[in-house]
Amino acid sequence: MFWADRLAEEIQQIEAAKKATKEAPLLVRDEKTLSGRVHIGSMRGVAIHGLVAEVLEQKGMPVIYKYELNDFDPFDSIPPDVDAEKFREHLGKPLYTVPSPQPGFENFAEYYGAEYVSVHQKAGFFPEYYRATELYRSGKMDPYIKTALERTADVRRILKDVSGSVKDESWLPVSVVCEQCGKIMTTRAHDYDGETIGYTCDRSPDETVPCGHSGRVSPYGGNTKLFWKIDWAAKWVAVGVHVEGGGKDHSTKGGSHDVAAHIAEEIFGYNAPFNIPYEFFLVGGKKMSSSKGRGSSAKDMSELFTPEVLRLVLLGKDINQQIDVDPQGDSVPRTYDWYDDLAEKVREGVQDDFTRLYELCQLPEKGISTEVPWQLRFSQVAFIVQMPHMSLQKEAEAVKGSPLTPSEIAALEERASYARFWLATYAPEEFRFVLQDALPAVELSDTQKKALAVLADYFAEWRSGEEVHARLHELKTEVSIQPKDLFSALYQIFLARTSGPKAGWFLSSLPREFVESRLREASV
Ligand SMILES: [Zn+2]
């Protein structure tokens, strides 16, 4: 069974699902702290929660998908795309009080949030968004802050028992926003008198500078924030979450999910949501923490794939399997091939997990379409767009064996624009081709020359791709040449490189006279 269907069936069995109504639907939630450009890895959570909600809805379950844009966490490091000198003074402040790097956005979190949300939308996910500040500043978190403060000793015990983290007697489960410098990472809360919290602004994590202020504040209305694992548990209760997964690193025994679940149950009397632990999304084999380079952000990655193929990237692997995409390797053409293989199965009328996956890759807002367009392989499209003499549509129709439908023409043009973008940005050398106007300087053996001479005669008339392919096969025995020597000679004289696309198809796509004369010229 496809993973999303399997999860949906499990979720249907939970108590909250059985009680869900139109007025009080089952609530699925995910969140992301907006501390810079968001890594593609976070899109896996967006997509898993989004698809689970979609599938539950297909099964008739009243469900709502809420996504928190976390703008209340501290600004804890300066991203590489902003001016470090300008932003250093803001380190340690809640994100919503840090200015936007570009004009037109209310604050730092909104700036990065807008780009991230645009990727959700491209992939067809439209959760209901809310901000962390909406929870804290409206007072919605106040009852949980109050309970956590009153039961600090129990919170401390749970942290110790579940995760082995020992806090001293004066520790409180909140951090205070300093009234003088506005920073939250620099303060130490030291006592709670039942109404106010005493704090001192004297911590200096990393490059963050404290102001030295001491004071007392009410812990409510956004003046303080619960520490992460307690904050997580409190949000489950405050928002009423029933289903929420997370990266599998959070779901180890004694890990953050385990701690949050114990706090939710014991301190707030709330059952932890149905958990969906999922594997990592790697970029070129590297995890989120170490892959900060070009192509690893959600936005960068989304620019490489059409919306449907982007959904395949995010949804195609079981949640227990890693995703690994390398924009600078062959992942991009391979992913498009994967999509085309699924489409082929659907056209053949197969009904299995693969065709279910194809169906779920279609954008929900486009509705269900019965047409499954035929598409020219991405690597072929990428090759043709580099050959100025070739017509994309003509070549596609030759490969398909019949004219393209209007939706196939649209899909071809869309794919061509993605291929051009990939070639201009990340594509490795092996996918870049320049047709050589003149014969490049090459050193060919006598056997290679002999084979090229035979081929030159063969090209006295036009030949189809299949015919050329068959002829190349015969040639291997006829002139007793190693296939690798034959193909390398062909690629060298036309493309000035030793590898290339399928030779039969390639040669038949070029003007016949050009092929004949180049073969002749190289054979002497
Ligand atoms: Zn301060």
pLDDT at 511: 86
pLDDT at 501: 85
pLDDT level of residue 106 (50, 70, 90 thresholds): very high
Q: Where are the beta strands (DSSP E) in 276-431?
A: 277-278, 281-283, 323-325
pLDDT level of residue 239 (50, 70, 90 thresholds): very high
For ligand 1, the distance from its centroid to the CA atom of residue 175, given in whole angstroms, is 12
For ligand 1, the distance from its centroid to the CA atom of residue 187, given in whole angstroms, is 7
* Burial of 388 per CB tally in 10 Å (0-12, 13-18, 19+): exposed
Q: 116-127 pLDDT, tens per residue?
A: 999 999 999 999
Q: Is the pLDDT of residue 407 over 70?
A: yes
Residue 380 tokens, joined: 């072929």
pLDDT at 289: 66
- Supply the mean pLDDT for the chain: 95
Do the Cβ atoms of 462 and 518 come closer than 8 Å?
A: no
The Cα 485–Cα 449 span in angstroms is 10
For ligand 1, the distance from its centroid to the CA atom of residue 215, given in whole angstroms, is 10
Fold of 1-138+279-371: Rossmann fold (3.40.50)
Which residues is 226 bridged to in the sheet? 174
pTM of the model: 0.92
Q: Which has more confidence, 446 or 370?
A: 446
The Cα 287–Cα 310 span in angstroms is 19
For range 43-69, the mean pLDDT: 98
pLDDT at 70: 98
For ligand 1, the distance from its centroid to the CA atom of residue 181, given in whole angstroms, is 4
Do the Cβ atoms of 479 and 447 come closer than 8 Å?
A: yes
For ligand 1, the distance from its centroid to the CA atom of residue 97, given in whole angstroms, is 14
pLDDT level of residue 451 (50, 70, 90 thresholds): very high
467 Cβ contact list (under 8 Å, min separation 6): 504, 508
For ligand 1, the distance from its centroid to the CA atom of residue 222, given in whole angstroms, is 16
Q: Is the pLDDT of residue 343 over 70?
A: yes
Q: 270-312 pLDDT, tens per residue?
A: 999 999 999 999 999 988 766 567 789 999 999 999 999 999 9
For ligand 1, the distance from its centroid to the CA atom of residue 185, given in whole angstroms, is 9
For ligand 1, the distance from its centroid to the CA atom of residue 176, given in whole angstroms, is 10
pLDDT at 295: 82
Percent of the chain topping pLDDT 90: 90
For ligand 1, the distance from its centroid to the CA atom of residue 146, given in whole angstroms, is 23
For range 246-257, the mean pLDDT: 93
User: Where do the domains of the chain lie?
Assistant: 1-138+279-371, 142-150+162-226, 373-422, 446-523
For ligand 1, the distance from its centroid to the CA atom of residue 189, given in whole angstroms, is 12
pLDDT at 508: 87
pLDDT at 367: 64
Any idea what DSSP says for residue 479?
A: T
pLDDT level of residue 365 (50, 70, 90 thresholds): confident
Q: Is the pLDDT of residue 179 over 70?
A: yes
pLDDT level of residue 394 (50, 70, 90 thresholds): very high
* CATH class of the domain whose range is 446-523: mainly alpha
Q: Is the pLDDT of residue 334 over 70?
A: yes
Which residues is 200 bridged to in the sheet? 188, 214
pLDDT at 290: 60
Q: Is the pLDDT of residue 368 over 70?
A: no
pLDDT level of residue 141 (50, 70, 90 thresholds): very high
